[in-house]
């Protein structure tokens, strides 16, 4: 019985979707390291390449989990953690190198606060056995957010190829912040309803 349980646990942990999620977690410190030396254009391009790969795995792990019927509780837990670590780390590094500054810091704070709020809410509702499904708007928010951060990671290096790269990134970043605010309120209202019912 114990051996079969361990075997099932190992097979669940080593599915292709979960391996992609592990890879995304490993990319986080690499992207941060590249952005630490963001004054060098080459490091920004490497960071962007890694970030794009991480974004693709974010789409693929969920798609493959459904297509291969390999959805698991471990995957459901790790996937949003990997997303939040990647996005939060990149935002912090972009603030540190002044790509995000002035009023754009407000958008950064909104996004980071929402991530913390939703994480806490998910943990609370998990204890009540209440699932928190990802809405379509939240998926759009994630897509816009990733594209915005991609432009901002390219930053000054991108300006040399496509003038206006930073402006486009900031515009999309603000759009993602507004979507973040909307989805955050949506999750909060749903959570408050369950708190009142409890």
Sort residue 87 into left (φ over 0), alpha (ψ -120 to 50) or beta.
alpha
Indicate the SS3 state at residue 79.
helix
The residue that leads in pLDDT, 5 or 181, is: 181
Segment 48-68, tens digit of pLDDT: 999 999 999 888 887 787 787
Among 16-20, 68-72, 103-107, 122-126, top mean pLDDT goes to 103-107
The mean pLDDT value for 76-96 works out to 91
The mean pLDDT value for 26-47 works out to 95
**CATH says 10-197 is which class?**
mainly alpha
The residue that leads in pLDDT, 39 or 133, is: 39
Is residue 197 very low, low, confident or very high in pLDDT (cuts 50, 70, 90)?
Answer: low
Residue 98 has pLDDT above 80, yes or no: yes
Q: Which pTM does this prediction carry? A: 0.86
The mean pLDDT value for 92-116 works out to 93
Residue 10 has pLDDT above 80, yes or no: no
* Burial class, 102, CB count within 10 angstroms (exposed 0-12 / middle 13-18 / buried 19+): exposed
Residue 120 has pLDDT above 90, yes or no: no
Contact in structure between 60 and 20 (CB atoms under 8 Å): yes
Distance CA 4, CA 140 (A): 40
Distance CA 88, CA 112 (A): 6
Domain ranges within the chain, ordered by starting residue = 10-197
Amino acid 112: pLDDT:
93
Report the range of poorest mean pLDDT among 24-38, 53-67, 103-117.
53-67
Among 65-79, 109-123, 184-198, top mean pLDDT goes to 109-123
Report the range of poorest mean pLDDT among 119-133, 147-161, 180-194.
119-133
Residues contacting residue 81 through CB under 8 Å, at least 6 positions apart: 25
Amino acid 7: pLDDT:
44
Residue 168 has pLDDT above 50, yes or no: yes
Q: Which single residue is written with the structure tokens 């970043």? A: 173
The residue that leads in pLDDT, 4 or 150, is: 150
Backbone angles phi, psi at 71, to 5 degrees: -70, 140
């Amino acid at each position: 019985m114990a051996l079969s349980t361990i075997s099932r646990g190992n097979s669940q942990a080593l599915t292709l979707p979960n391996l992609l999620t592990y890879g995304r977690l490993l990319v986080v410190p690499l992207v941060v390291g590249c952005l630490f030396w963001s004054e060098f254009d080459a490091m920004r391009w490497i960071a962007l390449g890694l970030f794009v790969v991480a974004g693709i795995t974010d789409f693929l792990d969920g798609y493959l989990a459904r297509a291969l019927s390999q959805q698991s509780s471990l995957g459901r837990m790790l996937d949003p953690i990997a997303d939040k670590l990647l996005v939060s780390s990149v935002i912090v590094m972009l603030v540190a190198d002044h790509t995000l500054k002035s009023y754009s810091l407000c958008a950064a704070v909104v996004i980071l606060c929402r991530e913390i709020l939703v994480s806490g809410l998910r943990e609370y509702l998990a204890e009540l056995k209440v699932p928190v499904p990802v809405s379509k708007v939240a998926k759009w928010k994630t897509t816009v957010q990733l594209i915005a951060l991609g432009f901002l990671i390219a930053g000054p290096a991108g300006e040399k190829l496509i003038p206006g790269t930073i402006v486009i990134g900031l515009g999309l970043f603000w759009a993602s912040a507004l979507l973040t605010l909307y989805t955050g309120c949506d999750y909060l209202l749903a959570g408050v309803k369950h708190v009142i019912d409890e």
